[in-house]
Structure 1
Amino acid sequence: MADFPHFVLKETRTSLAYTSTIRGGDKKNSPPRPERKTHADQLLDALEKAEKKATASQAAEPAREGLQFIPMVFDQSSDFDLEIRQLENTSPGTRIVSAKERDGKKEYLVAVPNSEVSKFADKFRDYRDKETKKKQTPLNEKLASSIETIDSAELEDYWTDASENLPHADEEMWWEIWLSTAETDDDLAAWFRRVAANENVVTSPQQVAFPDRLVILGFTSLNGWRNFPGLLNHLTELRKANIVAGEFTKLPPSGQAEYINNLISRTTFAAVSAVRICVLDTGVNRGHPLLEQSLSSADTQAWEADWGSSDHDGHGTEMAGVCLYGQLRDYLYGDEPLELAHRLESVKILPPAGQNDPPDYGPITVGSMSLAEIASPSASRIFCMAVTAAGDDQWRPTLWSAAIDQAASGANDETRRLLIVSAGNLREDIGKNYPHENYVSSIEDPSQSWNALTVGGYTKLAWMQEEGLEGYAPIAKSGLLSPSSRTSLCWGDIPWPYKPDVVFEGGNYASDSSGFITNADDLNLLTTRSTADSDALLGTTGDTSAATAQAANMSAILQAEYPDFWPETIRGLVVHSAEWTSQMLDEFPTAQRKQRLRVYGMGVPNLGRARRSANGFATMVIQDRLQPFSFGSSDNSANEMHLHDLPLPREVLEDLGSTHIKMRVTLSYFIEPNPPRRGYVAQYQYASH
């Protein structure tokens, strides 16, 4: 799919005096049903073509050998949710294999028994020709109206990975093969491994069983699976297998160095003038081979000079690796050239021993940011801090959070800044009472800051094959909250932002049958390791620290792509690209949307969408100033509103006809803090302008 830069709109606004027009809501009109006869004939035609196409494919593809059903893709209508129950009840044996969303619409992969396709045709004819007795509405209208079109399913339709980009047909890689155990009494694993051996497909000795599902890893190409005899009799999903961090951490130092040297040889490092991520942490050991070309000695400092700028704990070096590379394991495992667009800075804000006395973390944080800015005043930078403090403040502004809000807004020096902070982690018994303990554990100071981008953790790491941990299973399911991540669910219904704003990969934990919980390399992110206590150059990190570093990595990539974008615009792009996983939507359905926001914010950001527009997905950016309230007024009276004329060509809109269009608007702004705790009377003064 072709991509292109986002559209930056200028001089599109008209400013008008604003007066609230809220007078109570109007009832929403239901969207019109499709024209009955035309839609029915289209469905019948699509069904017939899908059946013929599937029959032809069955004769040509070994993967369909012995197939007793026809795999079909039902596209859900843009206006009506698919009637899933009616779909499965149309004929005996029909079942939904998997579902995914593409371009805002859901696609359902459905297995229809060979002899039962005619039952769907009967339903569509009845919809066209018959009415219900009571209401005289078309028979089967809900089912027919909710289906936009039908097609025969190809092997590619079984791809349900988070990435929409399907691997090339001949690209060999590790795959997660999700098999259905519901329709067989045989030893499915034994069958799969036997056929795989015959086809020279390497399989992992490990496997994971879920209700009605068995997952085994296999190494081959998409064409390899196409030639796998009888695969579609049991296949439900294909996903890319994540290379776990343990594959690298268990290597001896010499083995790690081989991978590292290979990556360095194909990496182009960013120039000294490039965007920086300033890591506010325990210091960074810049001698690490993966870091030294991106972190000059002049860019490593400490709040107190006698602390030294080197990493006394290891945490800062771990953060630096994720800030610079993101998912390091993908680059180490691949062989493609890597071009880095940003560099690193480090300011040590924690002492080598004990704690700051007094613990003036507000002034220390802001002062440390100034150290970086004074050292390189012309550089563009993102600030990243995964240091939080426990307390009873919850959502209330503190000196620390207010200092961050003030520094971000530029209230004192007219320089706005993007600060990315972690939501904080559970400190005891992580995973013991998951996820309820996470729900009642508030995010920590200073992550309640309005202006900071607050990052929580979710996880997709739900596969482990680490030696010594046989009998352990991941605590969190893929797509759900990381077991260590805090939330703002316990805040209740208060006039304060939903926090975290977004979530990134925060790793997982494992437990055994007795309830004993442990950490595992396979369930964490690979990163650079401080070499003070070991010769190993690679280690793992997790929790909201790792999530925060990934958010900084994404923000720096965006800032390098769009150097003229404001800090709040970069923050807006990150949040604008975020979506909830299907598991998050299942955990908190529509009626619990506010709770979902308190746990996951706006969801998981997508770098591809945040970075570039594409066919069918355009992002328009407006950078402007708005003063919604009258400055200095005692009653917070309304001031102005802006109307924006979007440059959408009339001919293009007319050509779209009845095509369903979705518009998503993200407003990202920095407020000037006013944190005295005078109760709710001060809420508008804090929200400010």
Structure 2
Amino acid sequence: MRKRDLPHIIVPIDPRPEPFQVVGGGGNDDDRNPVVNPNEHGKRLSRELKEALEAASPNGEIEREGTYITFESFPGLELALKSLDPRSRGEHPELVAVRKVTSTEGEIFEATVYIPDGQKEYFVKKLNQYVETSTGDKRKNANLIEGINRIGRATVRELWTDPDEEFPDADDVAHWWELWLRNKDGKEHERLESFAERNGLKTSANYLGFGNRTVVLIRATVEQLTTAFETLDDIAELRRPHEIPTALSALAPYEQKEWLDDLFHRTTYADEFTPTVCILDRGVDSSHPLLAPALKKGALHSASQEWKHDPVRSPHGTEMAGLALFGDLQTLFRTLHPVILKHQLESVKLLPDANDDEHEPDVYG
């Protein structure tokens, strides 16, 4: 145990009592309230909400029964999220995504809410109540309304909940995305599959269920995702695939190849004069497309001439080689950056295949 030879911290003054004060609630905190004219503020937001709810979708195959609306906070203030997501029985507005954006004026919060057609009056009513009481001392719904700076119709960008800088720049380049679908009637995955088939898009063979969300992978451009968002009611969040190594195993072989090809074309392999990482294991599969360029001629060895290096029956050495060469594949698959390798590989088959006879102790040496 580390020697404790430091003096105690002594507070040389006597304590004194202070009266308890309730912490302010954001929108009702007059010192931070950015609303100068409550009446005008409420009327402006009412107009913005009306325009957002009435905006017609340009897509011709609409299957939606509601509207996605984004509420934007004032810089440095948070939104009253509980009021944006009432969670009442039956059909009700649903908060689907919240993201934080850094602007020149400070941090801004954007909350996107799905409003069913039969619940459009929910926020209209709250705004009307605020405007009607705006000239008095107690303004109704002030905690909600006075935290909102802008209301607008949502786009796929507002559903992006990963870091803002990771959103793809090009609208016409296909990527794999992680779609979080709202569980409404159990047919959300079926509707997405139908849309993907009509539009020539690829989706993962399997999907995951998390309570009120279904997670599925889809390969599409930003433009194609925008079309899906304008067509379907089901999209709640949009992310980069976060668990790619696990999700890849659930994809069909030809889909896995697309991921590997993408990483291969972004990778610059090290030349023969760079350091080598030697894998002491049961052998490395030299035919693997991501490993082959890093295994130079004469890089495969065996402790016994009787052991065949290819084909490799145990995957462990190959998996260790991939880890030694690329590190965290999850990070590499999540980004589109070039990968520059500074070392190559070598394999020594130190142990026989797992189902071979037990090896002799002299192999250790």
TM-score (norm 2): 0.60
Task: Tell me the distance in 1 between the aligned counterparts of 2:238 and 2:262.
Answer: 33
Structure 2 partner of 1:141: 142
1:67 shift after superposition: 3.5
| Local SS of the residue matching 1:125 | helix
Aligned 1:78-477 pairs, distance under 5 A? 80-89=77-86, 93-103=92-102, 104-114=107-117, 115-116=120-121, 117-126=123-132, 128-132=134-138, 138-161=139-162, 164-167=165-168, 168-182=170-184, 184=185, 187-228=187-228, 231-241=231-241, 243-244=244-245, 247=248, 263=264, 266-267=267-268, 269=270, 289=292, 321-322=322-323, 325-328=326-329, 337-340=338-341
**C-alpha distance 80-264 of structure 1, shift in aligned 2 (>3 A):** closer
Q: 5+ unaligned residues in a row in structure 1: which ranges? A: 1-18, 133-137, 297-312, 345-527, 536-689
Q: What is the alpha-carbon distance in structure 1 between the residues aligned to residue 157 and residue 204 of structure 2? A: 22
Unmatched tracts of structure 2, length 5 or more: 1-8, 300-313, 354-365
Secondary structure of the residue aligned to 1:205 is coil
Q: 1:336 deviation in Å?
A: 6.9
Instruction: Call closer, same or farther: CA 1:145–1:247 in 2, change over 3 Å.
Output: closer
Shift of 1:240: 2.9
Work out the CA distance in 1 between the residues paired with 2:188 and 2:238: 17
What is the letter of the counterpart of residue 228 of structure 1?
A: A
8 Å contact 1:208–1:215 — kept in the other structure? yes
More displaced 10-residue stretch of structure 1: 239-248 or 214-223: 239-248
Using the TM superposition, give the Cα deviation of residue 96 of structure 1 relative to its aligned residue in structure 2, in angstroms. Answer: 0.8
Seen in structure 2, the aligned counterparts of structure 1 residues 46 and 291 have a Cα distance that, compared at 3 Å, is farther
How many angstroms does 1:237 deviate by?
A: 1.5
Q: Based on CA coordinates, which of the two structures has the bigger radius of gyration?
A: 2
The answer for the alignment partner of 2:58 in structure 1 is 60
- CA shift for structure 1 position 120: 3.7
SS at match of 1:108: strand
Whether contact under 8 Å (1:199, 1:228) holds in the other structure is no
Q: Give the counterpart letter for 2:180 in structure 1.
A: W
- The within-5 A match list for 1:503-518 is none
1:38–1:70: structure 2 CA closer, same or farther, 3 Å change rule? farther
Q: 1:88 to 1:122 in 2, by over 3 A?
A: farther
Alpha-carbon distance between aligned partners in 2 of 1:67 and 1:156, rounded to the nearest angstrom: 19
Change in 2 beyond 3 A, CA 1:269/1:44: farther
3-state SS of paired residue (2:92) = coil
Q: Distance in 2 between matches of 1:529 and 1:328?
A: 20
State the 1:229 CA deviation: 8.0
**Structure 1 residue 329, shift from structure 2 partner:** 6.7
User: Scaled by the length of structure 1, what TM-score is found?
Assistant: 0.35
Alpha-carbon contact 1:260-1:332 (below 8 Å) kept: no
The whole-number CA distance in structure 1 between the counterparts of 2:80 and 2:64 is 26
- After superposition, the Cα gap between the structure-2 partners of 1:147 and 1:534, relative to the gap in structure 1 and judged at 3 Å, is farther
Partner residue in 2 for 1:71:
68
Structure 1 residue 110: Cα displacement: 1.0
The question of whether the paired residues in 1 share the 8 Å contact of 2:48 and 2:150 is answered with no
CA contact (8 A) 2:110 2:158 kept: no
Give, in whole Å, the separation in 2 of the partners of 1:249 and 1:217.
10
8 Å CA contact 2:73, 2:150 repeated in 1: yes
Q: Is the 8 A contact 1:270 1:339 kept in 2?
A: no
Question: Tell me, what secondary structure is at the counterpart of 1:129?
Answer: coil
Amino acid of the structure 2 residue aligned with 1:41: E
Secondary structure (helix, strand or coil) at the match of 1:171 reads coil
Corresponding position of 2:6: none
Q: In the TM superposition, what is the alpha-carbon distance from 1:193 to its structure 2 partner? A: 2.1
Please give the alpha-carbon distance, in whole angstroms, between the structure 2 residues aligned to 1:243 and 1:316.
21
SS of match in other structure, 2:192: helix
Q: Compared with structure 1, are the counterparts of its residues 172 and 268 closer, same or farther at alpha carbon in structure 2 (3 Å cutoff)?
A: same
Cα RMSD, aligned residues only = 5.1
Q: Secondary structure at the match of 2:205?
A: coil
Q: Which amino acid aligns with 2:167?
A: L
Cα separation, 2, equivalents of 1:145 and 1:190: 40
1:205-247 CA distances to partner (integer Å, 9 max, x unpaired)?
3222232222333222221233338644121112233543685
CA, structure 1 residues 214+43, in 2 after alignment: closer, same or farther (shift >3 Å)?
Answer: same
Aligned to 1:601: none
Aligned length, in residue pairs: 298
Aligned partner letter, 1:143: L
Counterpart-to-counterpart distance in 2, 1:123 and 1:319: 64
1:89-112 alpha-carbon deviations (Å, 9 max, x no partner): 499722212223333543211123
Deviations 1:569-591 (A, max 9, x none): xxxxxxxxxxxxxxxxxxxxxxx
Distance 2:67 2:251 in 1: 45
Q: 1:163 to 1:123 in 2, by over 3 A?
A: same
Task: For 1:216, give the aligned amino acid.
Answer: V
Partners of 1:172 and 1:220 within 8 A in 2 = yes
Q: Supply the distance in 1 between the matched residues of 2:238 and 2:265 (Cα, whole angstroms).
A: 32
CA distance in structure 2 between the partners assigned to 1:261 and 1:223 by the alignment: 20
**In structure 1, distance between residues paired with 2:252 and 2:34:** 64
- Shift in Å at residue 189 of structure 1? 2.9
Distance in 2 of aligned mates of 1:177 and 1:260: 23
Letter in 2 for 1:121: L
